[in-house]
A and B are shown apart, each in its own frame.
Chain A
């Protein structure tokens, strides 16, 4: 109950922007790596994530709705992505919903309900969320999460057969003008063949509700005549 009240209180103040230096490291199941370094901007009012990357090459990536625009100095690549910025860490943190991963609000609250709350040996609050929507019980699995001091520490997603799909760990929280933001997020995704992909994202120099750099937050989306398809156009 205290936990839920805490989450509600955090919701009281709304923030709208976040900027950070970002470094995303991936180790893929085939043994190869990925490294992406740059800055990320998120504006909650426009639901737009903008990555201004410097490595592996200079490029800007905009994710808006389910479209990704990859802009380099001589080309624009447009592709459809299965992403919803409303479940991004930026949106959840700014909305004060990161503590329960947004499971207790919006349409998702109709699907998942808390089925078990316990404490582990380290004093973390372990919450199990189960699917209550009958029609989705055969499709979706439970979600387990661990909270420390009302902050999300770890979350695990399962499929309907109770097989682990992915784990995420949120570490090194800092409070920025009232927004609790983890500086390190690690995700382990389990593939169907049992192999794993590991991704670690590090955020530095986090700024909340920045009032300048409007041109970055409002980076114009390129006009493409045929969206959802790869296209090259000289700039």
Chain B
């Protein structure tokens, strides 16, 4: 029983180490993806003849991967342009007609409200002014829109996922101690979770060792 548990843990550790090595290869750009990484691992343990065959296959796979990668790139560019729906040259061009048409209905309400300073949503909600308009009355969402954190991601998550870098980013953009503190809490939370996982794993390993 004891030997089975020890062998299982050894196998899991070996697999984890192997996976980490492959991930490192991918990160370092030595291999394109997990599939080709597996080919490299295989070729390392094969004999010379097998190496030649594997090498040819790997080359073919790499060529295929390169072709596939270029196709993905083209596809991504197409998707990006579809997503943006606007070219780089047009992005700084103001389309007044389009903007005005978006606010055509609301402009009438705005004009009325500006002329009648005592008008409120309550006083006009059942009038013809709002007949075709669904008016959201959340004012705080309106006044805080133009100066958010980068990518609208809360400070806590910046710290949580990017650690020290996230904290730095929040500090640079907000120059605000409270937000930076939140990013720090996010960072500490991640650190705490990782520490707990390690402790649990070590505890499992030790208890298995005493069996």
B63 within 8 A of A: no
Please tell me if the beta carbons of B146 and A34 are within 8 angstroms of each other in the complex: no
Name the B residues within 8 Å of A70 (CB-CB). Answer: 139-140
Interface size classification for chain B? 35 or more
Please tell me if the beta carbons of B137 and A34 are within 8 angstroms of each other in the complex: yes
Q: Please report the C-alpha to C-alpha distance between residue A153 and residue B148 in the assembled complex, in whole angstroms.
A: 20
Which of A1-9, A138-146, A206-214 is the contact stretch?
A138-146
A81-117 vs B, CB cutoff 8 Å, 1 = contact: the mask equals 1111111110000000000000000111011000000
Name the B residues within 8 Å of A77 (CB-CB). Answer: 140
Which of A11-19, A163-171, A173-181, A215-223 is the contact stretch?
A163-171
Interface size classification for chain A? 35 or more
B106 within 8 A of A: yes
**A-B contacts, 30 listed (Cβ < 8 Å):** A23-B114, A25-B103, A25-B110, A26-B136, A31-B134, A32-B134, A32-B136, A33-B106, A33-B135, A34-B138, A34-B141, A56-B139, A61-B143, A63-B143, A65-B178, A66-B179, A68-B143, A82-B179, A83-B147, A84-B173, A84-B174, A85-B147, A88-B146, A108-B172, A135-B168, A139-B165, A161-B80, A163-B80, A164-B86, A199-B145
Q: Please report the C-alpha to C-alpha distance between residue A55 and residue B143 in the assembled complex, in whole angstroms.
A: 13
Please tell me if the beta carbons of A34 and B135 are within 8 angstroms of each other in the complex: yes
The verdict on A36 contacting B142 (CB below 8 Å), with A107-B171, A198-B102 known, is: yes
B192 within 8 A of A: no
Query: Is chain B's interface secondary structure helix, strand, loop, or mixed overall?
Result: helix
| B85 to A, closest residue via Cβ | A194
A231 within 8 A of B: no
Set A31, A79, A87, A199: member contacting B147, Cβ < 8 A:
A87
> Smallest Cβ distance from A65 to chain B, in angstroms?
6
Set B135, B138, B147: member contacting A88, Cβ < 8 A:
B147
The verdict on A187 contacting B99 (CB below 8 Å), with A139-B162, A167-B91, A171-B94 known, is: no
A224 within 8 A of B: no
B188 within 8 A of A: no
Name the B residues within 8 Å of A32 (CB-CB). Answer: 133-136
| B77 to A, closest residue via Cβ | A162
A24 within 8 A of B: yes
Set B106, B136, B144: member contacting A68, Cβ < 8 A:
B144
Q: Please report the C-alpha to C-alpha distance between residue A146 and residue B94 in the assembled complex, in whole angstroms.
A: 11
Q: Please report the C-alpha to C-alpha distance between residue A175 and residue B74 in the assembled complex, in whole angstroms.
A: 47
Set B91, B113, B151: member contacting A156, Cβ < 8 A:
B91
| B152 to A, closest residue via Cβ | A82
Set B83, B138, B145, B165: member contacting A194, Cβ < 8 A:
B83
B52 within 8 A of A: no
